[in-house]
Amino acid sequence: MSKKLDQATQTLKPPRGRRTNGTGLSSTTIMDVAREAGVSYATVSRVVNNKEYVKSDTRERVLKAITSLGYVVNQQARSLAGGRSYAVGLLVRDLGSSYMGEIVKGIDDALSAAQYNLMLYTTHRRKIKERIYVNNLIQGMTDGLLLVLPENLEAYLETLDQTHFPYVLIDHQGLDERTPVVITTNWQGGYDATRYLIELGHRRIGFITGMMDMLSSQDRLNGYQAALRDHGLPVDPQLVYEGTFYQPGGYSGAQSLLQLPEPPTAIFASNDVMAFGVMEAVRDAGLRIPSDISVIGFDNISQASQVAPPLTTVAQPLEQLGREAVRMLLMRMNNPEQPIERSILPTTLIIRQSCDVPRNV
């Protein structure tokens, strides 16, 4: 390309004047509103931010100007000036599961009610350079961070804690008691489901765990074992299969449990997706649910009620988990000195049709 042409393009650049939003349409600024309402721009700012000390009819006038001009604040400018971006970062592994979907739904609802924007960061696959990554987040892009089931947490938490950047963990126990988290009563959920099966009359109950590096998996297992013990039943390690939280884990787990010399009459999977795998394996073995084998899950994702037979499961209040996390985060953002909360939401046993009394009782 010739130099001349280059210069020509140069000259064509828009003048620095009025901001055009990159779209050709110039956007209304606080100045325009001020002019329209016949006040200073500072007053407009006060109205927009709901500050005190504005005469009510002035406020009216400004508000009217705002709507008539269709003014909406420029977050970047606001953020630059005031140090708030009105955006929250959400860090997740991936988004494909309805588990994730429901949590995000809750987050999103609560956030938009509070007029906050949501920046999404997924960590799937990519090995991120934690330091830089987190730096980016806290470098004013967002005012706070929500982490759902974070993987190598230590890497984040160090930077986060050092800079006193507000964050909340979702469905993760954190490193210690001083980590702000929102979790559910996993132990109790495991206990309740198991007790339910016991009360139906089951004596041999198979259990398929989640990924055992997750505390929630351990809690569910512990709840299961505690219920057995409390009812005077043996805790047979043969009945526990280490799963993955994915469907194939449930399938092979059930296969292996059913091949036991003394197979269980009920199988408790640590999440619904694995329970679906269990159902498949049970059927493939020529058995019927619930008459031959009872199946119970965990999570209560929306599909759970749609399969046949509808799955009895332990409901996690996923959407509420997200909502609660946002509440906590906003709280921390506004009162950084507040003591750290840990919020524990209750699970509920949802009884549907995948469990029945065992055959031989």
Site residues, DNA (CB under 7 A): 3, 13, 16-19, 27, 29-31, 38-43, 45-46, 48-49, 52-56, 58-59, 71, 73-74, 77-78, 80-83
The interface partner of residue 141, options being its own copies, DNA, none and the CB cut-off 5 to 8 Å by kind, is: its own copies
From 116, 207, 251, 268, residue interacting with its own copies (rule: CB under 8 A):
251
Binding status of residue 101 toward its own copies by CB under 8 A? yes
We find the least distance from the C-beta atom of residue 49 to its own copies, in angstroms, to be 15
Distance (Å, whole) CA 237 – CA 18: 72
From 40, 75, 152, 238, residue interacting with its own copies (rule: CB under 8 A):
75
We find the least distance from the C-beta atom of residue 105 to DNA, in angstroms, to be 29
Binding status of residue 112 toward its own copies by CB under 8 A? yes
The gap from C-alpha 345 to its chain's centroid, in whole angstroms, comes to 14
Amino acid at the residue 85: S
Stretch that binds its own copies, among 146-154, 208-216, 219-227, 299-307 (CB under 8 A): 299-307
Burial letters for 258-295: b for 16+ Cβ neighbours within 10 Å, e otherwise?
beeeebbbbbbbbbbbbbbbbbbbbeeeeeebbebbbb
Burial letters for 196-220: b for 16+ Cβ neighbours within 10 Å, e otherwise?
bbbebebbbbbbbbbeeebebbbbb
Q: Which is nearer to DNA, 4 or 125 (CB)?
A: 4
Distance (Å, whole) CA 309 – CA 298: 15
We find the least distance from the C-beta atom of residue 157 to its own copies, in angstroms, to be 14
The interface partner of residue 284, options being its own copies, DNA, none and the CB cut-off 5 to 8 Å by kind, is: its own copies
Binding status of residue 116 toward its own copies by CB under 8 A? no
The interface partner of residue 224, options being its own copies, DNA, none and the CB cut-off 5 to 8 Å by kind, is: none
From 44, 104, 289, 296, residue interacting with its own copies (rule: CB under 8 A):
104
The interface partner of residue 41, options being its own copies, DNA, none and the CB cut-off 5 to 8 Å by kind, is: DNA
Distance (Å, whole) CA 3 – CA 29: 38
Helix (H) or strand (E) holding 348: strand 348-350
* Cβ count within 10 A of residue 51: 11
Strand partners, 14: none
Binding status of residue 352 toward its own copies by CB under 8 A? no
Q: Please enumerate, as own/partner, the contacts of 155-160 that have beta carbons within 8 Å and a separation of 24 or more.
A: 155/130, 155/131, 156/91, 156/130, 159/130, 159/131, 159/134, 159/135, 160/134
Q: By the 8 A CB rule, do 285 and 298 touch? A: no
* Helix/strand/coil for 41: helix
We find the least distance from the C-beta atom of residue 157 to DNA, in angstroms, to be 25
Binding status of residue 77 toward its own copies by CB under 8 A? yes
Q: Which is nearer to its own copies, 201 or 248 (CB)?
A: 248
Q: Which two tokens stand for residue 204?
A: 């041999």
Q: By the 8 A CB rule, do 140 and 85 touch? A: yes
Binding status of residue 61 toward its own copies by CB under 8 A? no
The residues of the shown chain that bind its own copies, judged by CB under 8 A, are 19-25, 27, 70, 72-77, 79-80, 83-85, 87, 90, 94-98, 100-102, 104-105, 108-109, 112, 117-122, 124, 126, 131-132, 135-136, 138-141, 143, 162-165, 246-248, 251, 277, 280, 283-284, 302-303, 306-308
